[in-house]
Amino acid sequence: MSIPNVVAVIPARGGSKGIKKKNLQLVKGVSLIGRSIIAAKGCRAINRILVSTDCQDIASEARVHGAEPVERSEEIAGDKASSELAVLDCINRALCSDDDIIVFMQATSPFCRSEFLSHALDSFRESRCDSMSSVFKDHGFWWQGDSPMYDPTNRPMRQAQVDLYKEAGMFYIFRAEGIRRTGCRLHGVTKAFEIPKTCALEIDDYDDLLIARSLDM
């Protein structure tokens, strides 16, 4: 019986509607894909780092930072292909064992830290949950279109609000068997791992990229 690995999987396709070659954009002199790989390398528990990509430039950048590029087929490299399909394709091509713990990271979260990954993996193992998502605390008053998603006549005081959390998208943790069986990153008994809100920025458009570049982090 093989010893399970802890495998970081970073999907990074070449195409992007919002920002051209988004995963190669620089924040503080390092590409987004490079920043994710560096965070994964700093986590001692992670012993393999895979980058799923259809882009030779991204594959080259992954090698520079010490990750293994895994070729992604054209069928799952478009805008409509889910991240789950990319992760499944990657772990299958890389011959990951069902017992392997997968740390699915998103390069669009430039402020992931190695210590977040280390503590989250400790929590994942100790809690014996099936899957985990990074989250951050958010006390916002949410709207959908022109309609508030709360009762404006009974607006709660901030100190009276219950703790609400938003999915960060920075990373998810699960075993290879779980995503193979369910096709979903979150399944079974799930657990949240809180990260600081200041680190939760996701790069979706140029405004996000400019904000990331302006932060002293």
pLDDT for the residue numbered 141: 83
Q: What are phi and psi of 208, to 5 degrees?
A: -60, -40
57 is a domain residue? yes
pLDDT for the residue numbered 80: 77
Residue type, 52: S
Please confirm, yes or no, whether 155 is among the known catalytic residues.
yes
178 is a domain residue? yes
Query: Which neighbouring-strand residues pair with 154?
Result: none
31 is a domain residue? yes
| DSSP-derived pairing of the beta strands 30-31 and 147-148 | unpaired
Helix (H) or strand (E) holding 40: helix 32-41
73 is a domain residue? yes
Tens digits of residue pLDDT in 24-55: 999 999 999 999 999 999 999 999 999 999 99
Angle at 138 between CA 161 and CA 13, to 5 degrees: 160
User: Which residue range forms the structural domain that includes residue 169?
Assistant: 6-214
- Which of 44, 63, 155, 181 is the catalytic position? 155
Whole-number Å distance between alpha carbons of 7 and 91: 9
209 is a domain residue? yes
Whole-number Å distance between alpha carbons of 86 and 9: 9
Least confident piece of the model among 32-41, 58-67, 149-158: 149-158
Whole-number Å distance between alpha carbons of 197 and 149: 22
User: Residue 158 gets which letter from DSSP?
Assistant: G
Whichever domain contains 29, its CATH number is 3.90.550.10
147 is a domain residue? yes
Residues 6+ apart with CB under 8 A from 85: 76
Q: Which two tokens stand for residue 23?
A: 């995963």
Tens digits of residue pLDDT in 158-169: 666 778 899 999
1 is a domain residue? no
Whole-number Å distance between alpha carbons of 154 and 213: 39
Residue found under tokens 């087929």: 73
Give the count of domains, the chain. Answer: 1
- pLDDT classification of 105: cutoffs 50, 70, 90: very high
- The whole-number average pLDDT for the span 135-150 is 88
110 is a domain residue? yes
Instruction: Report CA torsion sign: 19, 46, 125, 91.
Output: positive
Is pTM beyond 0.85? Reply is: yes
